[in-house]
Structure formats: structure tokens, C-alpha cells
Amino acid sequence: MAGRKKKEPNAELLKTVAEAKAAGMSYGQYQAKRFIEEEMARKEELKQKKQAEHIETACREAGLGGHVMNFGKNHFKASTEAQKIMMEQFASGKVVPAKTSFMYCDELDMCFFYSASGKACCSYSGITKAGSDDIEHNIVQAFKSAKAVLDRMQELYIKDRP
């Protein structure tokens, strides 16, 4: 049988078997673990996409625009104080879709996002000055808008749950 080619083992299969042995698992256990991890990552990605859609919808309806950005590792880094609060208090090393809005005030930024448990949240940071119209009017309006956004975000989240 001169024309017959010797069957070579699949390099990917051998690599996976070696990884399984190194992890102290059988090939089947290792494949199941990989499948579960991939499925969880896929679900997290879908969850983030849905959250971004909900944030965008709620912000657009409130007249705040809807440009949502992902913050976290390999994504946008927090640059405003409100973004930093969000990342430090709620991100836990995960990617967080969020909308930053500079409100009606001289120096007030708000960041809308969801907590890990799916609760609509808003972090904020600001400065006001003596004689500014912010204290009596603009801050009140800003937080009324924030409440409308948060209420709508939560409504969309609850409506979207299975």
C-alpha cells in the first residue's frame, strides 16, 4: 500500500489532552469545564449588550443622548469622578456598559449603569460655585432627569427578564 498516508494525530486534540492532564482532569471533564466557561462568557456578553440597549433607550427618552461605552479591562478607562466611582464600587473587574452625562449644571457628571444584581444605578460627582444657579434649579432638574432614567432602566430590565 504505497499510496496510503499515515494517520497523524490531531494537534489540537493532543494539546487539549495535555491541558486536561495539567489541570488534573479527564479529557471529558476538561471539555465540559471549557464549554461551561465559554457559555458563561457568551451569556455575560449578551447581558452587557442588553444592558447597553436599555441604558441607551432610557437616556434617549430622557433627552440625554444615548452614546453608551464599555468600561473595564481592554475597554475605556474611567476618566471622570463618576466613572471612577462606578468602577471602584460596582465593576468587580468586569466590563460595565455605561452612559456618562454632563448634566445641566456647571460641573456635574453622572454615569448610568447596572449593578451586578441588575439594579439600575447612577454615580455622580460635581462642584458648584457661589452665585451659581445650580443649587436652586439645575441640580434639582438634573436629579429629576436621573430619576427618570433610572426608573426607565429598571423597568426595561424587569420587562426583559425571563
Residue 5 has a pLDDT of: 65
Answer for the pair 25, 33: CB distance below 8 angstroms, yes or no: yes
CA 50 from chain centre, in angstroms, equals 10
CB environment 131-152: b (16+ within 10 A), e (fewer):
eeebeeebbeebeebbebbbeb
Residue 4 lies in a domain: no
Look at residue 14 in the predicted model and tell me its pLDDT.
Answer: 83
Strand order through the sheet with 69-71? 69-71, 96-102, 107-114, 120-127
How confident is the prediction for the chain on average, in pLDDT?
Answer: 86
Gap between the Cα atoms of 10 and 12, Å rounded: 6
With beta carbons less than 8 A apart as the criterion, state whether 90 and 115 touch: yes
The pLDDT tens digits for 92-145 are 778 889 999 988 778 899 999 999 888 999 999 998 888 888 888 888 889 999
Residue 3 domain flag: no
Domain that holds residue 113: 11-160
Number of domains within the chain: 1
Looking at residue 6, its pLDDT comes to: 64
Q: Please report the DSSP string for 53-87 in residue order.
A: HHHHHHHHHTTS----EEESTTSBPP-SHHHHHHI
According to DSSP, the β-strands at 120-127 and 107-114 are antiparallel
Contacts of 130 (CB under 8 A, 6+ apart): none
Q: Which long-range contacts (CB under 8 A, 24 or more apart) does 15-23 make?
A: none
Q: Indicate whether 2 belongs to any domain.
A: no
In a domain, 80, yes or no: yes
Q: 116 in a domain, yes or no?
A: yes
Q: Is there a domain that residue 118 lies in?
A: yes
State yes or no: pLDDT of 21 exceeds 80: yes
pLDDT: is 133 or 58 the higher one? Answer: 58
Residue 4: the pLDDT is 65
Give residue 144's pLDDT: 93
* Confidence class for position 49, pLDDT limits 50, 70, 90: very high
What pLDDT is recorded for position 40? 87
